[in-house]
A and B are shown apart, each in its own frame.
Chain A
Amino acid sequence: MTATAPAPAPSPGTKSDERLLKTSPLKKLLGRPELGSVVGAVAVFIFFAIVADSFVQATSLSTVLYAASTIGIMAVPVALLMIGGEFDLSAGVMVTTSALISSMFSYQMTANVWVGVLVSLIATLAVGVFNGVMLTRTDPPSFIITLGTFLMLTGMNLGFTKLISGTVSTKSIADMEGFSSAKEVFASTITVGGVDFKITIVWWLALIALATWILLRTRVGNWIFAVGGGEDAARAVGVPVAATKIGLYMGVAFGAWVSGQHLLFSYDVVQSGEGVGNELIYIIAAVIGGCLITGGYGSAVGAAVGALIFGMVSKGIVFAEWNPDWFKFFLGVMLLLATLLNHWVRKRAEATK
């Protein structure tokens, strides 16, 4: 506002400050990042309910939810990281790393299994810190740094397993102390109304709740959005950028730890070569859920819905008895449609503000 320009006359009936405008609940809903993915999820569900009659049985849905939760446990922290404007390409193999550390530490030290689980937590978080510190202290983008971590972890997974166990998979720890209680926590089955649900679904829901609370109700959440929206601007207003990013990488590491322990305690033996390529699936789930690749926008709920879509499609194709050769093609189409839908919904929401 300059003194020479006449101030626009306030139109009758509006408040003087547009920032205090009341938005209608419908508009608020339209502005949510996960809206597009929820619409997509409903569409996918209805679609498979029609083409595959076995899809809507309770047992089938529990299988779908389990598939979704194994992706979702990782997709939620990965989404937070992406809102903070960064990538983590090491997320897929980190899950395997975490499982391997637990298993081999317990076995080699003949320790209670819980000791291995805690050592694994510390070690996995350390990998997260490594990613975060490397990123904040050096110049290259996270894409390159975590690509390096990804390759190192892939090699270490095989190298150490072979060195310590003498084979490419770990030895069974099923007969060791603490195994059964750890299995209860990470890989048990809960029976509700005659249908078996895996405990990963509970972990997944808990992580969604925690991440949503952090994002929407705490100062840290504001920092995450700020860091992803514009790093320099965030630094200028006093946001601890480096700490926020390191914390986000630790969040992904925590998710990898939970997933890794689940792998270990469901199968009690870990294959060293697994997990490669899953990092992209987590990113896809987050993107379907409305996270922007460029950062600063997205939600934990959206990422969870993205994982749900992923689970529904991957298992739905089986229930529908389709040719699995086309699975990846279908996934690709879905990703494109979901992102286009998100984009369109967001544009509409912004236009009506």
Chain B
Amino acid sequence: MGAVLVAVLGASLVGCSSTGGKRAEDARKAAAAGGRAAVDTPRWTFGMVTHSGDGDTFWDIVQNGAKQAAVKDNIKFLYAHDDEAQQQAQLVDSYIDKKVDGIIVTLAKPDAMKGALARAKKAGIPVITVNSGSAESKEFGALTHIGQDETIAGEAVGEELNKRGRKKALCILHEQGNVGHEQRCEGAKKTFEGKMQNLYVTGTNMPDVQSSIEARLQTDKSVDAVVTLGAPFADAAVKAKEGAGSKAEIDTFDLNEKVAAGLKSGSLGFAVDQQPYLQGYEAVDLLWLYKYNADVLGGGKPVLTGPQIITKDQAAELEEYAKRGTR
């Protein structure tokens, strides 16, 4: 018994990995910025409320950007999220009660957030909207909207699919009731010359996503392109394609480490990135600029962070950034 234990311990000591793992991550972190403020403005507090569910990669990247800017701008950064519209509005209310100096909010369900934004305005708290809600942002009294126009992004996908000579595509919607997702698929439908169909899946249940796509690919062999609306779902689509023995090309919105690797290896066709890091970073930075210098960017129009079509050519460089959680 003791001998076995010694052997196991010995093996684990000797058996260090010289690549990857925690050590590589720590080295990357040490190489990153030291984390000191670059300005001497007062320590303001900004609160961000998003419609993200629990454990969403995309919003992690947005937060990374926001935190980086917060460190630089001497900001105390608070973050909260809820995927139920009513709860999200209540969270904004909580920040208004806390009398924060600025609020960053997503308008995935704009009508639900209308009242909360009006209350923020009444309390004199500047608001910047990010990611979704470019159409409503100005009307609700926000300074600026930072994000990508989902319809334009969808249209870019449709054009890219045409370029690749695709004839029949599936658009995988993983969030019931997200207006932005609908717009993406609508936009793609508009410019795509082939046939495009929507498929709803339960985004919170990955095996369900995979099996739904697989079933669809099995029943319809003529599908030659699958477009997922979020990076984590691209991987499920690739597995579904393998399971169904389909020839479809998998393309996706958004980027993560796996997608970058997939683009590099050729298992994915292309990705449409909206640069989430930029959305978080710019939101904090623009609020800081407004508080410090009353600057407003965009001239009343949304500040666009996408769409950016990423193919095999750019994948290698972006993979490294995706690894550290900023792309």
Contacts and interface: CB of A to CB of B under 8 A. Distances in A.
Q: Which of B97, B115, B182 has the most CB of A within 10 A?
A: B97
B200 A63 contact: no
Chain A CB within 10 Å, residue with most, of B95, B175, B177: B177
B86 A168 contact: no
A158 B95 contact: no
A329 to B, nearest CB: 11
A158 B176 contact: yes
B22 interface: no
Interface string B123-141: 0000000000000000000
Contacts of B78: 318, 321
B80 A60 contact: no
B85 A271 contact: yes
Interface centre among A271, A278, A315 (most CB of B within 10 A): A271
Interface in A272-300: 272-275, 278
B178 interface: yes
Nearest to A316: B94
A347 B277 CA distance: 54
A231 interface: no
Contacts of B95: 318
Interface string B79-103: 1110011110011011111110000
A328 B176 CA distance: 22
Interface in B154-182: 175-179, 182
A76 interface: no
Contacts of B97: 54, 57, 59-60, 63, 319
B54 interface: yes
A267 B88 CA distance: 12
Contacts of B177: 158, 168-169, 271-274
A271 B90 contact: no
Main SS of chain A's interface residues? helix
B114 interface: yes
B201 to A, nearest CB: 12
A267 B80 contact: no
B39 to A, nearest CB: 22
B109 A271 contact: yes
A167 B85 contact: no
B54 A274 contact: no
Interface string B47-90: 00000001000000000000000000000001111001111001
A242 B204 CA distance: 37
A63 B179 contact: no
A60 B182 CA distance: 35
B90 A168 contact: no
Interface string A3-41: 000000000000000000000000000000000000000
Contacts of A70: 86
B99 A169 contact: no
Interface in A245-280: 263, 266-269, 271-275, 278
Contact of A324 (B80, B85, B176): B80
A45 to B, nearest CB: 16
A309 interface: no
A200 to B, nearest CB: 10
Given A321-B78, A324-B79, A315 B94 contact: yes
Contact of B176 (A168, A266, A318): A168
A165 to B, nearest CB: 11
A67 B176 contact: no
A63 B96 CA distance: 10
B112 interface: yes
Nearest to A64: B94
Given A70-B86, A263-B86, A168 B182 contact: yes
A66 interface: yes
A167 B54 CA distance: 25
Contacts of A325: 54
B111 interface: yes
Contacts of B86: 70, 263, 266-267, 274
A56 B179 CA distance: 37
B179 A324 contact: no
Contacts of B176: 158, 168, 272-273
Contacts of B114: 267
A110 interface: no
A172 interface: yes
Interface string A188-225: 00000000000000000000000000000000000000
B54 A319 contact: no
Nearest to B54: A328
B91 A168 contact: no
10 contacts: A54-B97, A54-B99, A59-B96, A158-B176, A168-B178, A169-B109, A266-B86, A271-B112, A274-B86, A318-B95
Interface of B: 54, 78-81, 84-87, 90-91, 93-99, 109, 111-112, 114-115, 175-179, 182, 200
Given A63-B93, A70-B86, 19 more contacts: A54-B97, A54-B98, A60-B94, A67-B90, A168-B176, A168-B179, A169-B111, A169-B179, A267-B111, A267-B112, A267-B114, A269-B109, A269-B111, A273-B177, A315-B94, A319-B94, A321-B78, A324-B79, A325-B54
